[in-house]
């Protein structure tokens, strides 16, 4: 299966939803702290999260840009881990 940008966007949208994070990176020129979004550079893609009002970011699931497939698999693992934690499994 070919991983598309739309598939990644859907996963990030879901991630923002389950973490009660803002769905948009910026509103009226102000950064929305907590927003997860895709970052494209160097022919690859990564996940960023806005961490302060100045628009600073973190890379919550690894550093550097990789392939769409790599990020898709990391996103799924990250989401599964969050769901595992919130369901209080032992």
The answer as to whether 61 is a domain residue is: yes
Count of domains observed in the chain: 1
Range of the domain at 22: 5-83
In the prediction, which pLDDT does 88 show?
58
DSSP the chain: ----HHHHHHHHHHHHHHTT--SSSEETTEE-TT-EEEEEETTEEEEEEE-STT--EE-TT-SS-B-HHHHHHHHHHHHHHHHHHHTT--
Render each residue's pLDDT in the chain as its tens digit; 90 residues.
999 999 999 999 999 999 999 999 999 999 999 999 999 999 999 999 999 999 999 999 987 899 999 999 999 999 999 988 777 555
pTM for the whole structure? 0.90
The answer as to whether 88 is a domain residue is: no
In the prediction, which pLDDT does 75 show?
97
The answer as to whether 71 is a domain residue is: yes
pLDDT tens per residue across span 5-19? 999 999 999 999 999
In the prediction, which pLDDT does 87 show?
74
In the prediction, which pLDDT does 62 show?
85
Separation between Cα atoms, residue 46 and residue 40, nearest integer Å: 7
């Amino acid at each position: 299966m070919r991983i598309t940008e739309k598939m990644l966007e859907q996963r990030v949208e879901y991630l923002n939803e389950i973490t009660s994070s803002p769905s948009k990176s910026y509103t009226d020129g102000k950064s929305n702290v907590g927003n997860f979004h895709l970052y494209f550079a160097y022919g690859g893609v990564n996940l960023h999260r806005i961490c302060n009002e100045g628009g600073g970011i973190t890379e919550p699931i690894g550093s550097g840009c990789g392939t769409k497939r790599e990020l898709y698999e990391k996103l799924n693992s990250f989401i599964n881990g969050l769901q595992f934690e919130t369901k209080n499994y032992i």
